[in-house]
């Protein structure tokens, strides 16, 4: 079953929040059995886009830091909110 970009982002947020993944990239990558590479790539790009326009903790450095779980969750949630608001 194909998962949407929003679905990937929500699952990645859950994985980071529960400590099953150390960071955003690892969490999204771990979903390779559940979704296509294209959908994962779109999720990466969505997070990157949010990081590029964000200030504060939800920034581009959050993608490469595995020791800032709260910031990673904040960035994922900000990306989800941005996409959902664009859909409405």
Helix (H) or strand (E) holding 78: helix 69-87
pLDDT score at 41: 96
pLDDT digits (tens, 9 = 90+) for 59-73: 555 655 556 788 889
pLDDT for position 1: 46
Per-residue pLDDT of 39-59, as tens digits, reads 999 999 999 999 888 765 455
Residue of 30, 32, 34 whose CA lies nearest to 16: 30
Q: Which residue has the higher pLDDT, 27 or 71?
A: 27
- pTM assigned to the model: 0.84
């Amino acid at each position: 079953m194909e998962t949407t970009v929003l679905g990937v982002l929500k699952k990645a947020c859950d994985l980071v929040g529960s400590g099953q993944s150390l960071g955003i990239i690892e969490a999204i990558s771990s979903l390779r059995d559940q979704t296509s590479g294209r959908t994962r790539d779109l999720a990466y790009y969505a997070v990157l886009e949010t990081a590029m326009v964000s200030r504060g903790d939800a920034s581009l450095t959050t993608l490469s830091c595995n020791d800032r779980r709260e910031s990673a969750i904040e960035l994922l949630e900000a990306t989800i909110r941005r996409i959902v608001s664009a859909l409405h």
